Chain A
Amino acid sequence: MSTLLKIRDIRLEGRSDEQWNPIINGVDLTLQKGEVLGLIGESGAGKSTLGLAAMGFTRDGVRISSGTVEFDGIDLVKASAAVKRGLLGKRIAYVAQSAAASFNPAHRIIDQQVEGPVQHGTMKRPEAEETGMELYRKLRLPDPDNIGFRYPHQVSGGQLQRAMTAMAMSCRPDLIIFDEPTTALDVTTQIEVLASIREIVDEYDTAAIYITHDLAVVAQMADQIKVLLKGDEVETADTRTMLAAPTQEYTKSLWAVRSFERPAKPSVIGGAVPVVSVRNVDASYGTVPVLHDVSFDIHEGRTVAVVGESGSGKSTTARCITGLLPPKAGEIAFDGQVLPADYRKRDKGQLRQAQMIYQMADTALNPRMSIGNIIARPVQFYTGLTGKELRARVDSLLDQIELEPSQYFNRLPSELSGGQKQRIGIARALAAEPKFIICDEVTSALDQLVAEGILRLLAKLQDELKLSYMFITHDLATVRAISDEVVVMKDGRVVEQGEKQAMFTPPHHAYTDLLLSSVPEMDPDWLTNLLQERGVDNIGDAAVDKM
């Protein structure tokens, strides 16, 4: 094998607050022809920055301060813009995290597919189109001869991600940088994309850098794994060694995250009145029906996880419960008492009983209000406390979420980390002293270690305050960690519900089974085995039709 990419002592800096701060502090990376390197780490570790630097590219406000990036004998750090343009797209290609955002909405998919080969002069348009369709076929896109003639918004997320891989493959590059290509996808879709990517990278003998924060995913894709932490390399080893025997403490801690699991509480005694009862709810957006006859109960002090893929109606159910979207039929009851469908018709006492914590803590907090004010607002609104009492209550809430009041009271959300912001979201929900909290994907935007902290906090608060949670998630590991009961939704219907223990023990409903078996495991042979089990020809499209 010969060396394709050799990065030596690369240092990158980002500009913020009028000065250059280090992002990557001298990392080495060597990639042989046809080899796949997994690059993992938490957000802020510098994975994407390093991945782009491997292409000789930096985003605005980032610069390479020293080091070399040698691609097939060419130093990309010193190369002129024109030389780099000649390589990018042709010999080095990129697959971005969100295909929906990275395809130009104004052009058809095929136009973007052929742009590379035609502009780089490697093919004429008809030949490039032919090659594109061939790639669509290989990547198992439905209707490969015609799908390219659609606009990006007319194609589903999983298909678009594969189309982007096809686009990267259009010039048969030697190296592809995959930047979290499946992070935005549902588990069932993720499998199709992972399998397609792996297969085509194998077939074309393309070298790749596969960037992800998901260890189980990288275990399926990479020959060797490099772990990054805050711009420094922690360790590098081949995949099997790394999984079996990580040497560094940090790597071990990453591996250990998935161990948090809280035992399910004993079943509810028959006849107990549920805190929240969703009864035969139908709902629609305009004339488009989204929920069909959804029913489930949530009892005091228990966590009900609502799982399903995007578009299955999880968040819509939450909107019905809070009264933001009055249901077309059915009713919502609290403590056995039916609530008005529209939140505007509920009184303060009814409103305070159901609070929400959102997925994006970033956008859910007013950036111009201090932490103290963000929490004080609902305290004042619901309890009428003022002055010293108000301050004392806010302080005690900050204590509850394990943030030191004197340190955080006057800060702005932008001065907090993602996990801390999510804690503020929790405190704001607690401020109303509710019995019931809806957690809408509260950990999906967080790194695993941070997410675990949030889950532990929520569990602790539940024990202390006898809270009931409706936990919306698409991540089955989270379900396993925190829930007592599980409700599985698909296409606006509840397909299965029951105690956690029963749900995770076979036999399952066919769809639950598909969901469960699609969650990547740390075993590097997992994907291979699964594909064999399911039969390679129907990895996904037959099982879950995402059209």
Chain B
Amino acid sequence: MANVLSIIVQRLLLGLLTLLVVSIVIFLAVNALPGDFAEAILGQGATPESIATIRRDLGLDQPMVVRYFDWLSKMLRGDLGVSFAQLNFRTNLGGAGDVGVAEQIAPRLANTMFLAATTAIIAVPIAVTLGVLAALYRNTIFDRAANVATLSSISSPEFFMAYLMTLFLAFIFPIFPSLSNISADLTFFERLEKTMLPAITLTLVVTAHMMRMTRAAIINLLASPYIEMARLKGMSPMRVIVKHALPNALAPIINVIALNLAYLITGVVVVEVVFVYPGIGNLFVDAVKNRDIPIVQACCLIFAAAYILLNLTADILSILSNPRLRHPK
């Protein structure tokens, strides 16, 4: 076990290092965006003096290196800064209290996590089960049908799938509401009901990838001597696949699941927009439009952290799924 622990610690440190590198990339990328907040907010009536004043107030006149370390050190202390937009309101309207980036992002992130979790709970079992069944009944009508269905759903644009779902599940058969305008005062089940349409749409988007990997990883192993052995012991085809092939195919399956979960957290802007779901993706897009740099940076960093954390988890789970590492000689 000491072996596994040291590998995990190593991966964690590597993850942190990656996050640090990503923070530099994010900072540089955001700085490379054309235009700046001062120009955007002052619009037509901007004079060079007023622009300079706002820039000075916001610290935008400092050299890039200074701004980066300022941002990083605040970030490390858990201070995500104050949204430019909120700052603007306060100065103009006489200080309605500081609304920090953290306070703005937190509820949105929670919504996104809720959607991602709901989708994952639906999609992962479906994908893995379909993959196992497709491997079991490989090259039959069932296998082909499963492949065609999942591939067509992944090949259609997300917004198209979203409208299709709305059409069928909200209008023709009004089962779920077409708008996901959730708020904090909803009960869990109301919230779940309003989340269903985007969750189903996303399920259709992510299932194919996971299912095909499950199928491929299992079929890859079917030529192994130990699978032949299981068959020669008179074990049923289902048992051969589930007991003998699946445990050895876990590593690639876990990895592709992690990749899809990361996508659910970071890449669902389109679906959020269609269903007016108040997730972090919507917030992010608005912030980019307004040149609201603190929010853009914080969102990017959260996305990066989600990617790194999920892949790290997948790595560790793959390691744990290997008995050679779990039980050294």
* Interface membership of chain B positions 235-267, coded 1 if the CB is closer than 8 angstroms to chain A and 0 otherwise: 110010001100110000000000000000000
A321 to nearest B CB, angstroms?
29
Is A358's beta carbon under 8 Å from chain B?
Answer: no
Contact of A60 with B327 at beta-carbon distance under 8 Å, contacts A55-B232, A94-B232, A104-B230 already known: no
Q: Of A84, A101, A103, A104, which is in contact with the most chain B CB atoms at under 10 Å from its CB?
A: A104
Is A107's beta carbon under 8 Å from chain B?
Answer: yes
Q: Is the CB of B327 within 8 A of A154?
A: yes
Give the interface segment out of A12-20, A85-93, A501-509. A85-93
Q: Is the CB of B228 within 8 A of A59?
A: yes
CB-CB under 8 A from B232, the residues of chain A are 52, 55, 57, 88-89, 93-94
Q: Is the CB of A57 within 8 A of B233?
A: no
Contact of A153 with B226 at beta-carbon distance under 8 Å, contacts A89-B232, A107-B247 already known: no
B135 to nearest A CB, angstroms?
14
Query: Looking at the complex, which one of A86, A98, A167 makes contact with B234 (CB distance below 8 Å)?
Result: A86
Q: Is the CB of B229 within 8 A of A153?
A: no
Query: Looking at the complex, which one of B224, B229, B234, B244 makes contact with A120 (CB distance below 8 Å)?
Result: B234
CB-CB under 8 A from A86, the residues of chain B are 234
CB-CB under 8 A from A55, the residues of chain B are 232
Query: Looking at the complex, which one of B224, B230, B235, B239 makes contact with A101 (CB distance below 8 Å)?
Result: B224
CB-CB under 8 A from A150, the residues of chain B are 327
B 300-329 contacts with A by CB, 8 A: 323-324, 327, 329
* Interface membership of chain A positions 42-68, coded 1 if the CB is closer than 8 angstroms to chain B and 0 otherwise: 000000000010010101100000000
Complexed CA–CA distance, A88 and B329 (Å): 32
A378 to nearest B CB, angstroms?
35
CB-CB under 8 A from A115, the residues of chain B are 230, 233, 235
Q: Is the CB of B327 within 8 A of A102?
A: no
Is B231's beta carbon under 8 Å from chain A?
Answer: yes
Q: How many A residues have CB within 8 A of the partner chain?
A: 32
Is B223's beta carbon under 8 Å from chain A?
Answer: yes
Complexed CA–CA distance, A93 and B230 (Å): 11
CB-CB under 8 A from B329, the residues of chain A are 153-154
Is A511's beta carbon under 8 Å from chain B?
Answer: no
A125 to nearest B CB, angstroms?
15
Is A269's beta carbon under 8 Å from chain B?
Answer: no
Contact of A105 with B248 at beta-carbon distance under 8 Å, contacts A60-B223, A153-B323, A153-B324 already known: yes
Is B225's beta carbon under 8 Å from chain A?
Answer: yes
Complexed CA–CA distance, A106 and B248 (Å): 6
Task: Give B222's nearest chain A residue, CB to CB.
Answer: A60
CB-CB under 8 A from A94, the residues of chain B are 229, 232-233
Contact of A106 with B247 at beta-carbon distance under 8 Å, contacts A60-B223, A98-B225, A154-B329 already known: yes
Complexed CA–CA distance, A84 and B236 (Å): 11
Q: Is the CB of B233 within 8 A of A89?
A: yes
CB-CB under 8 A from A119, the residues of chain B are 233-235, 239
Complexed CA–CA distance, A414 and B223 (Å): 21
A 85-132 contacts with B by CB, 8 A: 85-90, 93-94, 96, 98, 101-107, 115-116, 119-120
Query: Looking at the complex, which one of B223, B231, B236, B323 makes contact with A105 (CB distance below 8 Å)?
Result: B323
Task: Give B249's nearest chain A residue, CB to CB.
Answer: A106
CB-CB under 8 A from A151, the residues of chain B are 323-324, 327
Q: Is the CB of B244 within 8 A of A87?
A: no
Complexed CA–CA distance, A115 and B233 (Å): 9
CB-CB under 8 A from A101, the residues of chain B are 224-226
Q: Is the CB of B226 within 8 A of A116?
A: no
Q: Is the CB of B234 within 8 A of A102?
A: no
CB-CB under 8 A from B230, the residues of chain A are 104, 115
Task: Give B229's nearest chain A residue, CB to CB.
Answer: A102
Query: Looking at the complex, which one of A59, A88, A98, A107 makes contact with B233 (CB distance below 8 Å)?
Result: A88
Q: Is the CB of B225 within 8 A of A89?
A: no
B22 to nearest A CB, angstroms?
33
Q: Is the CB of A84 within 8 A of B234?
A: yes
Task: Give B239's nearest chain A residue, CB to CB.
Answer: A119
Task: Give B250's nearest chain A residue, CB to CB.
Answer: A106
A 185-231 contacts with B by CB, 8 A: none
A 119-152 contacts with B by CB, 8 A: 119-120, 150-151
Q: Is the CB of B234 within 8 A of A103?
A: no
Task: Give A59's nearest chain B residue, CB to CB.
Answer: B228
Task: Give A94's nearest chain B residue, CB to CB.
Answer: B232
CB-CB under 8 A from B244, the residues of chain A are 104, 106
CB-CB under 8 A from B228, the residues of chain A are 59, 96, 102
CB-CB under 8 A from B243, the residues of chain A are 107
CB-CB under 8 A from A84, the residues of chain B are 234
A129 to nearest B CB, angstroms?
17
Complexed CA–CA distance, A94 and B232 (Å): 7
Complexed CA–CA distance, A336 and B56 (Å): 78
Complexed CA–CA distance, A55 and B327 (Å): 35
Complexed CA–CA distance, A85 and B237 (Å): 10
Q: Of B230, B231, B234, which is in contact with the most chain A CB atoms at under 10 Å from its CB?
A: B234
B170 to nearest A CB, angstroms?
45
Complexed CA–CA distance, A374 and B240 (Å): 42
B161 to nearest A CB, angstroms?
37
B320 to nearest A CB, angstroms?
12
CB-CB under 8 A from B236, the residues of chain A are 85
Task: Give A106's nearest chain B residue, CB to CB.
Answer: B247
B3 to nearest A CB, angstroms?
14
Contact of A88 with B234 at beta-carbon distance under 8 Å, contacts A107-B247, A151-B323 already known: yes
Complexed CA–CA distance, A57 and B231 (Å): 9
Q: Is the CB of A89 within 8 A of B327?
A: no
B 199-242 contacts with A by CB, 8 A: 223-226, 228-236, 239
Task: Give B226's nearest chain A residue, CB to CB.
Answer: A104
CB-CB under 8 A from B248, the residues of chain A are 104-106
Complexed CA–CA distance, A57 and B232 (Å): 8
Task: Give A60's nearest chain B residue, CB to CB.
Answer: B223
Complexed CA–CA distance, A282 and B214 (Å): 47
B253 to nearest A CB, angstroms?
13
Q: Is the CB of A89 within 8 A of B234?
A: yes
CB-CB under 8 A from B235, the residues of chain A are 85, 89, 115, 119
Q: Is the CB of A106 within 8 A of B234?
A: no
* Interface membership of chain A positions 443-469, coded 1 if the CB is closer than 8 angstroms to chain B and 0 otherwise: 000000000000000000000000000
Contact of A102 with B233 at beta-carbon distance under 8 Å, contacts A119-B239, A153-B324 already known: no
Q: Is the CB of B234 within 8 A of A105?
A: no
Query: Looking at the complex, which one of A60, A90, A105 makes contact with B324 (CB distance below 8 Å)?
Result: A105
B327 to nearest A CB, angstroms?
5
Complexed CA–CA distance, A93 and B231 (Å): 11
Complexed CA–CA distance, A195 and B309 (Å): 54
Query: Looking at the complex, which one of B223, B225, B247, B324 makes contact with A96 (CB distance below 8 Å)?
Result: B225
B136 to nearest A CB, angstroms?
14
CB-CB under 8 A from B229, the residues of chain A are 94, 96, 102-104
B132 to nearest A CB, angstroms?
15
CB-CB under 8 A from B223, the residues of chain A are 60
Complexed CA–CA distance, A93 and B229 (Å): 9
* A-B pairs with lowest CB-CB distance, top 9: A88-B234, A89-B233, A106-B247, A89-B234, A101-B225, A94-B232, A102-B225, A85-B234, A104-B226
Q: In the complex, given contacts A57-B232, A60-B223, A98-B225, what are 12 additional A-B residue pairs having Cβ atoms less than 8 angstroms apart? A: A52-B232, A55-B232, A88-B232, A88-B233, A89-B234, A96-B228, A104-B229, A104-B230, A105-B324, A107-B247, A115-B235, A151-B327
21 contacts between A and B (CB under 8 A): A52-B232, A57-B231, A57-B232, A60-B223, A96-B228, A96-B229, A101-B225, A102-B225, A103-B226, A104-B226, A104-B229, A104-B248, A105-B248, A105-B324, A106-B244, A107-B247, A115-B235, A119-B234, A119-B239, A151-B323, A167-B233
Residues of chain A touching chain B, judged by Cβ–Cβ distance below 8 Å, are: 52, 55, 57, 59-60, 84-90, 93-94, 96, 98, 101-107, 115-116, 119-120, 150-151, 153-154, 167
